A and B are shown apart, each in its own frame.
Chain A
């Protein structure tokens, strides 16, 4: 069964460094999402992406964040200058229609030191 995959599973970085989190959505899906979950807190929406542009974003998704679909398979989240409070689990998701079930990846645990 097709799955959303994410790499790496765990990323450790120094404060102020740039990180890129990678996701491979399910191949025939058209909508892509990033969520994050700070330890002990709820899963929070960051951004949705459709037709090569951001369709919706939360207030968390400020100028430090960007998303890209550089080729036909990858969907990336870039954090330009990481802060301690960016430490969280980041989940990618995709679906075939905006009101369909979202399929989630296993997550990338980002630790900012």
Chain B
């Protein structure tokens, strides 16, 4: 069975600073996808960044980057130069190659403080 763990229920960061959200997962699969989704207050979830497990290079999208450690089954999200609009719930998700369902963590509520 696949499980995803986000150990930080809430975090805060000063505007313009850098913050890292942690995510670990457990799987016996060798090939899979990992995602970070963002859910702003009262809005739908949107994709922040995606990583294919077979790629060693960490994914980057502008101010968002990941630290993917396959052996450690760790997939953290780094947000640089935090902006007020980054305030949201962040969900880590896992998708095995062998299926199309997502397994989500419990989320981290991030607040960017002006």
Contacts and interface: CB of A to CB of B under 8 A. Distances in A.
Contacts of B95: 99
A40 to B, nearest CB: 8
B93 to A, nearest CB: 8
Interface string A25-46: 0000001010100000111110
A23 to B, nearest CB: 12
Interface residues of A, number: 24
Nearest to A50: B100
Interface residues of B, number: 23
Interface of A: 3-4, 31, 33, 35, 41-45, 48, 55-56, 58, 91, 98-99, 101-107
Contacts of B102: 33, 35, 43, 45, 102
Interface centre among A4, A45, A103, A105 (most CB of B within 10 A): A45
A43 B106 CA distance: 7
Contacts of B101: 33, 45, 48, 56, 58
Given A56-B101, A98-B100, A104 B107 contact: no
B44 A99 contact: no
Interface centre among B46, B100, B103, B104 (most CB of A within 10 A): B100
A56 B2 CA distance: 15
Given A43-B91, A104-B44, A48 B105 contact: no
Contact of A99 (B33, B37, B43, B107): B33
B22 to A, nearest CB: 15
